[in-house]
Chain A
Amino acid sequence: MSDQIAVYPGTSLSEDDILEGKVLSIHDKLDGRYAWDTGIAIGQYLAGLKEGLILGAYCATCRKTVVPPRIVCEWCFRPMTRYVPLKDTGTVNTFSLCYVTWDVKRIKKPEIPAVIEIDGASPLHGILHKVGEIDPSEVHVGMRVKAVWKPPAEREGAITDIICFTKLNTEV
């Protein structure tokens, strides 16, 4: 800092300063309710999930299959050529053992978010989901997994129609 400056502005408060009312504060909540259009591609993706199917899309110019599907290829900016039905198995690209929820509460049993490369899509193309029904210590990068689906009657056309991905048993 200009080593000539000794005092920097900014007043630090502790949580107690506010809770004990030493400093005034005011609360507010955003009333933000949304209905997001699913669009052509994601609409079809969700319809596919309801039927127990993971859909991707193929770009003939780049010769790649992406998931989730989209109507335009972001590499070459041309319309995607067609939908591609993918398998519901895949490979763990990366994962984490998370002991904290989205709103910062600690949990004992970790959630296992992962990026899962779906079989049938191009390499390194996958989706975000969770790995489950497995001992956390068994999860590793490169592990083969399979989707665990909700029973058909409970599916609504959502990413949560897949409960999680779990170890794919390759023994015949």
Chain B
Amino acid sequence: MSLLSRNPEAPRSWQGELPVFSRYTLGLAGERFFREIKDNGRIMGTHCENCDRIYVPAAVFCERCLSELDEWLDVGNSGRVYTFTILHENYEGSPLDQPEIVAFIRIRDGGLIHRLGEIELDEVRFDMPVEAVFKPKDQRAGSILDIEYFRPTP
């Protein structure tokens, strides 16, 4: 309850932005994980002997027991669709020209979130096997986008 009155002619809002620009280093694990994607076109994981789990993306520590992980392995370029969604709008709410399929692809005990491609919207199935399609090596920058999308394994 306010004793001070509201002035209906007063400016209602003040507009502005939060200027936050970030440059992230990828970390001890990320540095190697993304270099492998960039240079060798392969996805790596790390194995925790204590918990017998394979983390993808690779991590230097196990979140369950906090041990240091130094056992790296090539986990292959394929996985299975754990869940997916079909996007019809972009994040600002405007419609997309073409709907996009985004999925979480389970690889070992972890996985990657990525787009699905070379597939019709009504063909996506839970647990379907998919494989990564990499950009040509000279276009890779050491980022998750070095993978174009995952497509159904023939």
User: B22 near A82 (CB under 8 angstroms)?
Assistant: no
Q: State the main secondary structure of chain A at its contact with B.
A: mixed
Complex: A44 Cα to B34 Cα, angstroms: 54
Complex: A71 Cα to B19 Cα, angstroms: 29
User: A24 near B142 (CB under 8 angstroms)?
Assistant: yes
Instruction: Check: A124 CB closer than 8 A to any chain B CB.
Output: no
Binary flags per residue of B63-78, CB closer than 8 Å to A gives 1, else 0 = 0000000000000000
Residues of B within 8 A of A30 (CB): 18-22
Complex: A71 Cα to B21 Cα, angstroms: 35
Q: Which of B8-16, B40-48, B109-117 is found at the contact surface with chain A?
A: B8-16
User: A23 near B25 (CB under 8 angstroms)?
Assistant: yes
Complex: A125 Cα to B16 Cα, angstroms: 26
Complex: A43 Cα to B5 Cα, angstroms: 10
User: B4 near A32 (CB under 8 angstroms)?
Assistant: no
How many of chain B's residues touch chain A, expressed as a range? 20 to 34
**Contact status of A46 and B24, CB under 8 A, knowing A24-B35, A79-B4, A80-B3:** no
Residues of A within 8 A of B6 (CB): 40, 43-44
Instruction: Check: B143 CB closer than 8 A to any chain A CB.
Output: yes
Complex: A72 Cα to B52 Cα, angstroms: 58
Q: Which residue of B lies closest to A103 (CB)?
A: B19
Instruction: Check: B129 CB closer than 8 A to any chain A CB.
Output: no
User: B25 near A27 (CB under 8 angstroms)?
Assistant: no
Complex: A79 Cα to B3 Cα, angstroms: 6
Task: Return 14 A-B CB contacts under 8 Å, by A number.
Answer: A18-B25, A25-B23, A27-B22, A27-B23, A29-B22, A30-B20, A30-B21, A34-B18, A37-B13, A43-B11, A44-B7, A44-B10, A71-B2, A103-B19
Q: Which A residues are within 8 Å of any B CB, using their own CB?
A: 11, 13, 18, 23-30, 32-38, 40-41, 43-44, 46-47, 57, 69, 71-72, 79-83, 103, 156-158
